[in-house]
Structure 1
Amino acid sequence: MHIDLRDLNLFSLIAETKSLTRAAERNHLSLPAVSARIKDLETEAGVRLLYRAPRGVALTPAGQSLLRHARTILSEIEHMKSELQRYGEGVQGSIRVFANTTAVTEFMPEVLATFLAAHQKVDVDLQERPTAEIIRGVLDGMTDLGITSGPIAADGLEVHTFSSDRLVLAVAPGHPLAPAAAVRFSDVIDHDYIGLHEGSTLQQFVDQLMQNARRRLHIRVQVSNFESVCRMVEAGVGVGIVPESAALRHRRTMKILIKQLDEDWALRERHVLARRGEALPSYTQALIDSIMNHPGHAASRARSRKRGAH
């Protein structure tokens, strides 16, 4: 099957405008030319892509599938153009990193501030992704590195474990769970909960815990970051599960209590993932080293060893 990038652009524009006429105008083509190109595209694909009606067009299921792929391909093309332009401006390298919520919000800003200051001609594209997409992205070559937490079960990966963190429950001082020294997840389900946005790795993990328990949390509010979770907890809106590193930091400025979660899954190791056998550029290896040697990670390893001694 041969599909031209110009046809993908045209098809995406038709899907956006829901009109062959408007797509033709914006592409500076005649309506017959657009109709002919879409007919050729349908012939090449072997399926019908559009439903035609007097007031416009709609995508068939096959057309919806093509649109998803087209947008991915066109986005990658734009990313490639931007990256090549940066090389033309003197950039020596670019690193794409897929990372979970904790990495993006908690420690990668500090890691990248130090790394980029020492590597002036290297760019980093940091994207928050769910764990499954991170692993798949590394294996498929969509990203150079991945940063995850928790068990990793996938062949073809080099796994560099650099620190550990514990999930804890943040509660307000007057909350019914405040007197408890530690809580189980089953205790949390009975109370209003502050969740993260749907795309967050931690929220997906909590959603899976709910499925396993065959019960649902009452998610009162969903917010975009751990600071907002802690602020909502402080205001008495509900409780929230956050990494201990975030809870300790926000406890300095907020009236929240930290409750240990008496669950095996609460203690999580953090990993940097790379594709096994891949010859990494020196600057990519340097970023791995920066993550591994970040001072905050040494502190988390020390806390983990201290708990283990008890």
Structure 2
Amino acid sequence: MHAMADRNPHYRIDPFDLRLFAAVAEAGTITAGARGVHLSLAAASARLQALEQAVGAALMQRAKTGVTLTDAGRTLLRHAGRLQREMEALHAGMAAHAHGVRATVRLLGNTAAISEHLPPLLGPFLAAHPQVDIELRELDSQDVLFAMRQERAELGIVADYVATAGLTTRAFREDRLVAVLPATLAPGRPRAMAFAELLAQPFVGLPAEAGLSRFLQARALQQGRGLHHRVQVPGFEALLRLVADGVGVAVVPALTARRLADPRVRVRPLSDAWAMRQLLVCFSSAQALTPAAAALLDALVVQ
């Protein structure tokens, strides 16, 4: 087994050393790996030894037939691959700036905001601001607030049932959740129904990590029940199609039910108070917003 020297606390891992290590792991020999990154065998060996000293563990077992990664080496290889991809993304992002002044606005939102309210607004904004990119991510409202307080985004859109203390908010849109049922389960005249009435039926839902799924699961637990999902699908189009086929019931934004109307689906208002929400745009302060984020905020709230 390859003997380890004491860890060198002053050495800092060089990204090039990670590239060399990945090349050696892929090639199976130090000689071939060194050739791949244009180093001599002696230089490559010295750098690999320094890398092992830096991490304090043997990364590979050396033999005449080649090298075999240790457990520590396999762990480092996974991290090295991710870091190389991040570096490539960094270079690509900086290359975009080299062709002009660019800005990226990080925008978080709940399911209703991302799927229904934002698409009609973002197209015109991006067309009018060709030097601005938007990094968009869906989270439930509680997670949006957590991310905002950690300054991981400039703007977030949440439902008003969460506490936004410490953040500035602006009214964005009213959003109503409705029940959608197969026509065979909802004969007769339309009527409002409580969410608790749906819990006896199997559900069709979005993936478990979707903001709306997490919200509805929490509401079900408040009733002392869980949601029984027959199937969870990645988008509202598939969800409504499965409801129409009689697979189960669902809760969706009213705008979604209207946009994807199907004669085989019945839409019923929910009588629960939480089904009518005010969506809010939140941010740390107007003074802290970048010019691009401030322009996007104006586009979202002045409608």
Q: Could you say which TM-score interval applies, normalised by the shorter chain?
A: 0.7 to 0.9
The residue number in structure 2 matching 1:135 is 145
What secondary structure, in the 3-state scheme, does the structure 2 residue paired with 1:169 have?
A: strand
What secondary structure, in the 3-state scheme, does the structure 2 residue paired with 1:183 have?
A: coil
Whole-Å separation in 2 of the counterparts to 1:59 and 1:179: 66
The residue number in structure 2 matching 1:291 is 300
1:4 aligns with 2:9: no
The code of the aligned residue for 1:291 comes to L
TM-score normalized by the length of structure 1: 0.74
Structure 2 gaps, min length 5: 1-8, 62-66
1:202 aligns with 2:209: no
Q: 1:250 aligns with which of 260, 263, 266?
A: 260
What secondary structure, in the 3-state scheme, does the structure 2 residue paired with 1:94 have?
A: strand
Whole-Å separation in 2 of the counterparts to 1:268 and 1:75: 40
The residue number in structure 1 matching 2:167 is 157
Deviation digits for residues 180-199 of structure 1 (CA, Å, limit 9, x no counterpart): 61222221111111010122
Instruction: Spell out the pairing of 1:114-263 with structure 2 (5 A cutoff).
Output: 114-176=124-186, 181-251=191-261, 253-263=262-272
| 8 Å CA contact 1:178, 1:257 repeated in 2 | no
Deviation digits for residues 238-261 of structure 1 (CA, Å, limit 9, x no counterpart): 11110111112212x553211111
The residue number in structure 2 matching 1:267 is 276
Deviation at 1:88, TM superposition (A): 1.4
The residue number in structure 2 matching 1:301 is none
| 8 Å CA contact 2:20, 2:33 repeated in 1 | no
Whole-Å separation in 2 of the counterparts to 1:244 and 1:191: 20
TM-score normalized by the length of structure 2: 0.75
Deviation at 1:125, TM superposition (A): 1.9
Deviation at 1:200, TM superposition (A): 0.9
The residue number in structure 1 matching 2:52 is 39
Percentage of identical aligned residues: 25
Deviates more, 1:238-247 or 1:80-89: 80-89
Whole-Å separation in 1 of the counterparts to 2:287 and 2:294: 11
What secondary structure, in the 3-state scheme, does the structure 1 residue paired with 2:295 have?
A: helix
Structure 1 gaps, min length 5: 295-310
The code of the aligned residue for 1:164 comes to E
1:101 aligns with 2:118: no
| 8 Å CA contact 1:194, 1:221 repeated in 2 | yes
* Cα distance change on mapping 1:21 and 1:150 into 2, 3 Å: farther
Deviation at 1:39, TM superposition (A): 3.0
Larger Rg: 2
Deviation at 1:281, TM superposition (A): 2.8
* Cα distance change on mapping 1:69 and 1:22 into 2, 3 Å: closer
What secondary structure, in the 3-state scheme, does the structure 2 residue paired with 1:166 have?
A: strand
Across the two proteins, how many residue pairs are aligned to each other?
282
Instruction: Spell out the pairing of 1:57-76 with structure 2 (5 A cutoff).
Output: 57-58=70-71, 71=82
The residue number in structure 2 matching 1:282 is 291
Whole-Å separation in 1 of the counterparts to 2:29 and 2:203: 46
